[in-house]
Amino acid sequence: MDIYWETIHFNKEKCQGVVINKGDGKLTVMGELKCGAKLNTQILYWASNPMNTRCSFSGSGLPYSSPEQAYDNSINVGAVNSVNGKFKFTIHFPNSYYLSVGTIYVPPHVHIKIMDGATKADYYSIKLGKGNKYRRLAHPSARTGPNFYGNIDSLPFRSQEQILRDSAICSTDPNAVDHFGLKPAL
């Protein structure tokens, strides 16, 4: 997962704060209400379940296939009361999931709903990174067909060592066109 961040700041219409990641799989969300909301009010929060770490590598860490599966009996659901406009809660790092039969990837996030007595309660989503880079249920959008691997004619002449060095996985974006570097097709 993209969990190598320590803090994420958020600034929404009725609240602002920070999400703290200590690297133990739990996130602490601390925030305060802005002047447009009541100071002592209830804050609802919900996020998808954490990723499953199964017995086998091939099934471990995959995103959920639908929101129904991601939020089913979620342990990341709760409510806290703000005290003098400040609130704090802890959740397990949520997993990502897909929408529209696996075509739209939704990265990990947490929802906050401020119940300040307004006729329509406002809720906000806080994005928590990009998710697990190399564990997806669908191919990246750059793969448009079987010719994605047809790069053998465009590669330079190299030694075996240079081929291995050039085949390193791109560490920035798994959806990039050159994700596999200069790796020859299999």
**Which tens digit of pLDDT belongs to each residue from 108-117?**
999 999 987 7
Question: Mind spelling out the 3-state secondary structure of 114-164?
Answer: EECCCCCCEEEEEECCCCCCCCCCCCCCCCCCHHHHCCHHHCCCCCHHHHH
pLDDT tens, residue by residue, 171-183: 666 555 555 566 6
Please give the angle made by the CA atoms of 101, 148 and 102, to the nearest 5 degrees: 5
pLDDT at position 123 is: 87
pLDDT at position 145 is: 73
Domains of the chain and any CATH numbers: 7-127 (2.60.40), 139-186 (no CATH)
pLDDT at position 140 is: 66
pLDDT at position 168 is: 72
pLDDT tens, residue by residue, 153-173: 777 788 888 888 877 766 666
pLDDT tens, residue by residue, 12-69: 988 999 999 988 889 999 999 988 677 788 999 999 999 887 777 777 788 898 999 9
Report the C-alpha gap between 24 and 3 in whole angstroms: 10
Report the C-alpha gap between 74 and 109 in whole angstroms: 13
User: DSSP H helical segments within the chain, as ranges?
Assistant: 67-71, 160-166
Nearest CA among 21, 26, 28 for reference residue 6: 21
pLDDT tens, residue by residue, 62-72: 889 899 999 99
pLDDT at position 126 is: 94
* The model's pTM: 0.74
Mean pLDDT of 131-145: 72
Q: What is the DSSP-derived secondary structure letter of residue 166?
A: H
pLDDT > 90? residue 139: no
pLDDT at position 8 is: 92
Residue 185: count other Cβ atoms within 10 Å of its Cβ: 13
